[in-house]
């Protein structure tokens, strides 16, 4: 046996003949053909009208619309994170009433379509004519007509942040639940109170599970804000619509809009990556650099996969 | 609020007692896991609790710092109820602030270490002294470095728990408990989650602590540690104290058949 082993040639003398993946080649060829057709259409079809796209790409009213879309997204997301965290904490509280209220909130605001909630808040005056604060022995402090403060922008912020908070509440709850109970016990045994434990121990660890879906939600929300055109908030899509309503350059302007949405989504994805890295810094496995991630995402050719 | 002296007179707590239990009961639903535990741990002594799993020894330990509420009996730490105040013959649950103050004086070391995984070893040590005791950051850091040196890990101050071995994590966890200057340290099977070759380094630290006069209650399977370091040994089985005594004597010459059986398995 020993003799036989010493007589076999060393392994580097053997050539490996790779398995031919004919199916893979055919698939790649078809994909390239389709890609070619699309590129040809994009380049030659006059309906795309690239010079017009270029003309409107940095148009002042498009820029104003983009600004409005960004302001909406940031405002709504910040409010949604705050409301969502409060609802999540209520959902995890030992009180049955708080728990039931939080469940009902999530059921309603996550369940009802965003568009319907948007139109409802914009038309709130049909339900409630005015708001007034009356204190006993003091009298009415102030009264405002609903129509005076429920501008399209305010309606959009209220409707979409309540809607988004329904999603955020579930994300935060899942994050908090993902932190091992031993962490809370250890903190408790050191004399930390509930609020301190939540702020210093549970939430920071939950962030690693909260950040990725929150990034997705932000990207989703950025696009959902285009619904506000229906109540005439001057966002990116509305700006484009008002131009093509006059000039009938519909397709080029939609391309302009799509370009800006994709541009912002790309920026957001990059930010998300760095935030994830920050909260995962205690985790050795997440040490990959941004370049590595890019390489992994965009690597060409065949990827070795374990069977 | 009754004073420590009143409690001591009322329940017959011996002088110099750090942990005192009389008739402690605990039920989870219909299951009674502690059926009247008596224990006295004098200040500066080490009590080791052994017993098969499910005997209630960990539950008893968790009752001491009120991680579990007792269902009956008297359980005092330094002459005070941890989770209650005795007034007019009734036990009033204390508010969160007072409970936290009292817990801060009772250190606990867990089987699964439970280091805060998002903080470095040093951050683990300074968190509670700063946030709970209001210590200055500089002071807390000085103290933390001294404690890490004491457990032989001064080089690992900036390491995250994941970068440490189990034995190192447990030593950091002991240092974290010590950072609060506790009156008593509770150990819940501190070496059970460790690879055999890492058990020794943790036991060395614990022995050093015992020699420095720390009051300790140790739930353990390390009979050797109990024999050499323990001042008293308690064998628990099915929610009762089956036998107690001086460790060397009890291990050499167990009186109860259950104790003999158990010891024959672990020795």
Read off the pLDDT of residues B13-51 as tens digits, 9 standing for 90 and up: 888 999 999 999 999 989 999 999 999 999 999 999 999
**Strand, helix or coil for residue A295:** helix
Which residue did the predictor score with more confidence, B181 or A303? B181
**Predicted ipTM of the assembly:** 0.90
Which residue did the predictor score with more confidence, B262 or A128? B262
B4/A75 Cα distance (integer angstroms): 55
**Strand, helix or coil for residue A57:** helix
Looking at the DSSP bridge assignments, the partners of residue B20 are B40, B76
**Backbone angles phi and psi of B182, in degrees to 5:** -70, 155
Q: Do A190 and B162 touch (CB under 8 A)?
A: no
Give the count of beta carbons closer than 10 Å to the beta carbon of residue A67: 14
Residue A266, judged by CB atoms within 10 A of its CB (0-12, 13-18, 19+), counts as exposed
Q: Do A182 and B110 touch (CB under 8 A)?
A: yes
Size of chain B in residues: 267
Average of per-residue pLDDT across B164-193: 95
CA atoms within 13 A on the CB side of B216: 31
- Cα B104–Cα B25–Cα B48 angle in degrees, nearest 5: 60
> Strands of B17-28's sheet, edge to edge?
B31-42, B17-28, B72-77, B80-81
Whole-number pLDDT of residue A197:
94
Whole-number pLDDT of residue A287:
44
What is the DSSP-derived secondary structure letter of residue A19?
Answer: P
Which residues in chain A are contacts of B156 at CB distance < 8 A?
none
Whole-number pLDDT of residue A302:
45
Residue of chain A nearest B178, judged by CA positions: A190
Q: Which residues of B157-178 are buried (b: 16+ CB within 10 A; e: fewer)?
A: bebbbeebebbbbbbbbbbbbb
Whole-number pLDDT of residue A80:
96
A184/A188 Cα distance (integer angstroms): 6
Q: Crossing angle of helices A203-224/A152-177, nearest 10°? A: 150
Which residues 6+ apart lie within 8 Å of B163 measured at CB?
A: A284
Mean pLDDT of chain B: 92
What is the DSSP-derived secondary structure letter of residue A9?
Answer: P
Q: Which tens digits make up the pLDDT trace of B128-142?
A: 999 999 999 999 999
Whole-number pLDDT of residue B185:
96
Whole-number pLDDT of residue A6:
56
Q: Do A196 and B132 touch (CB under 8 A)?
A: yes
Whole-number pLDDT of residue A147:
80
Q: Do A200 and B131 touch (CB under 8 A)?
A: yes
B120/B108 Cα distance (integer angstroms): 19
- Identify which of A56, A49, A60 has the alpha carbon closest to the alpha carbon of residue A251: A49
Q: Do B65 and A189 touch (CB under 8 A)?
A: yes
Whole-number pLDDT of residue A14:
82
Which residues in chain A are contacts of B116 at CB distance < 8 A?
183, 186-187, 201, 205
CA atoms within 13 A on the CB side of B266: 20
DSSP A93-147: SS-HHHHHHHHHHHHHHHHS-HHHHHHHHHTGGGT--EEEEEETTTEEEEEEEHH
Plot region of A194 (φ>0 → left; ψ -120 to 50 → alpha; else → beta):
alpha
Disruptive mutation site among B67, B114, B189 for chain A (greatest number of A CBs within 10 Å): B114
Nearest residue, CB atoms, B118 vs list A187, A189, A204: A204
B94/B97 Cα distance (integer angstroms): 8
Tell me the pTM: 0.77
Residue of chain B nearest A195, judged by CA positions: B96
Q: How far is CA A135 from CA A130, A131, A248, in A?
A: 16, 13, 56
**Backbone angles phi and psi of B180, in degrees to 5:** -90, 5
Which residues in chain B are contacts of A279 at CB distance < 8 A?
118
Nearest residue, CB atoms, A282 vs list B103, B114, B162: B162
Give the count of beta carbons closer than 10 Å to the beta carbon of residue A267: 10
Is B65 at the interface with chain A, CB within 8 A?
Answer: yes
Average of per-residue pLDDT across B185-204: 93
Per-residue pLDDT of chain A (307 residues; tens, 9 = 90+): 455 555 666 666 788 888 888 999 999 999 999 999 999 988 888 888 888 888 999 999 999 999 999 999 999 999 999 999 999 999 998 899 999 999 999 999 999 999 999 999 999 888 888 888 888 887 777 788 888 888 899 999 999 999 999 999 999 999 999 999 999 999 999 999 989 999 999 999 998 889 889 998 999 999 999 999 999 889 999 999 999 999 999 999 999 999 999 999 999 999 888 888 888 776 644 444 555 545 554 444 444 444 4
Which residue did the predictor score with more confidence, B5 or A85? A85
Is A187 at the interface with chain B, CB within 8 A?
Answer: yes
What Rg, from alpha-carbon coordinates, does chain B have?
Answer: 19
Give the count of beta carbons closer than 10 Å to the beta carbon of residue A49: 16
A118/A233 Cα distance (integer angstroms): 11
Alpha carbon A56 to its chain's center? 27
Whole-number pLDDT of residue A303:
47
Instruction: For residue B84, give the H/E element and its range.
Output: strand B84-87
Nearest residue, CB atoms, A191 vs list B104, B116, B117: B104
In chain B, pLDDT over 70 holds for what percent of residues?
99
Which residues in chain A are contacts of B108 at CB distance < 8 A?
186, 189
Is B161 at the interface with chain A, CB within 8 A?
Answer: yes
Instruction: For residue A89, give the H/E element and its range.
Output: helix A60-91
Plot region of A53 (φ>0 → left; ψ -120 to 50 → alpha; else → beta):
alpha
| Contact (Cβ atoms closer than 8 angstroms) between residue B7 and residue B79 | yes
Q: Which tens digits make up the pLDDT trace of B223-239?
A: 999 999 999 999 999 99
Is B118 at the interface with chain A, CB within 8 A?
Answer: yes
Q: Which tens digits make up the pLDDT trace of B66-117?
A: 999 999 999 999 988 998 888 888 888 888 888 999 999 999 999 999 999 9
Helices (H), chain B: 4-11, 57-64, 96-104, 121-131, 137-150, 166-178, 196-211, 223-229, 247-252, 257-266
Which residues 6+ apart lie within 8 Å of B120 measured at CB?
A: A282, B157, B158, B159, B160
């Amino acid at each position: 046996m020993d003799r036989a082993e010493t007589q076999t040639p060393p392994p580097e003398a053997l050539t490996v003949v790779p398995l031919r993946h004919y199916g893979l080649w055919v698939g790649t060829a078809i994909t390239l053909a389709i890609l070619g057709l699309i590129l040809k259409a994009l380049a030659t079809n006059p309906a795309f009208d690239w010079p017009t796209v270029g003309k409107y790409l940095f148009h002042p009213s498009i820029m104003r619309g983009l600004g409005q879309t960004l302001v909406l997204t940031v405002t709504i997301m910040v409010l949604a994170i705050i409301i969502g965290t409060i609802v999540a904490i209520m959902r995890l509280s030992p009180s049955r009433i708080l728990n039931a209220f939080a469940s009902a909130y999530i059921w309603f605001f996550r369940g009802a379509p965003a568009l319907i909630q948007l139109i409802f808040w914009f038309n709130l005056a049909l339900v409630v004519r005015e708001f007034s604060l009356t204190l006993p022995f003091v009298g009415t402090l102030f009264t405002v007509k609903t129509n005076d403060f429920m501008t399209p922008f305010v309606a959009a912020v209220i409707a979409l942040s309540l809607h988004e908070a329904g999603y955020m509440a579930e994300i935060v709850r899942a994050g908090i639940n993902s932190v091992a109970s031993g962490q809370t016990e250890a903190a408790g045994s050191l004399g930390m109170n509930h609020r301190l434990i939540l702020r210093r121990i549970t939430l920071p660890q939950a962030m690693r599970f909260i950040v990725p879906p929150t990034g997705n939600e932000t990207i989703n929300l950025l696009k959902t804000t285009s619904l506000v055109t229906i109540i005439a908030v001057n966002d990116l899509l509305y700006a484009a619509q008002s131009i093509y309503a006059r000039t009938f350059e519909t397709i080029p302007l939609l391309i302009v809009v799509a370009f800006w949405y994709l541009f912002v989504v790309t920026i957001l994805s990059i930010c998300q990556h760095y935030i994830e890295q920050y909260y995962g810094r205690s985790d050795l496995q997440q040490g990959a650099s941004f370049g590595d991630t890019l390489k992994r995402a965009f690597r060409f050719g065949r990827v070795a996969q374990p069977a | 609020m009754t004073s420590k002296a009143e409690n001591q007179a009322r329940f017959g707590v011996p002088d110099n007692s750090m942990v005192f239990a009389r008739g402690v009961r605990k039920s989870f639903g219909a299951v009674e896991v502690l059926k009247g535990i008596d224990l006295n741990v004098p200040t500066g002594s080490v009590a080791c609790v052994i017993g098969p799993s499910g005997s209630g020894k960990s539950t008893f330990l968790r009752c001491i710092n009120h991680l579990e509420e007792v269902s009956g009996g008297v359980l005092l730490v330094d002459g005070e109820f941890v989770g209650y105040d005795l007034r007019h013959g009734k036990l009033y649950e204390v508010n969160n602030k007072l409970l936290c103050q009292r817990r801060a004086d009772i250190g606990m070391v867990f089987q699964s270490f439970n280091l805060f995984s998002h903080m470095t070893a040093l951050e683990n040590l300074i968190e509670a002294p700063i946030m709970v005791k209001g210590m200055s950051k500089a002071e807390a850091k000085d103290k933390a470095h001294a404690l890490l040196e004491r457990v032989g890990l001064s080089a690992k101050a900036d390491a995250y728990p994941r970068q440490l071995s189990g034995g190192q994590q447990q030593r950091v966890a002991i240092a974290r408990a010590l950072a609060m200057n506790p009156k008593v340290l509770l150990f819940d099977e501190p070496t059970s989650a460790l690879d055999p070759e890492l058990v020794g380094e943790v036991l060395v630290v614990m022995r050093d602590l015992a020699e420095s006069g720390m009051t300790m209650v140790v739930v353990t399977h390390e009979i050797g540690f109990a024999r050499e370091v323990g001042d008293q040994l308690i064998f628990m089985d099915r929610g009762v104290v089956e036998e107690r005594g001086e460790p060397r004597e009890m291990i050499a010459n167990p009186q109860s058949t259950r104790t003999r059986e158990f010891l024959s398995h672990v020795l």
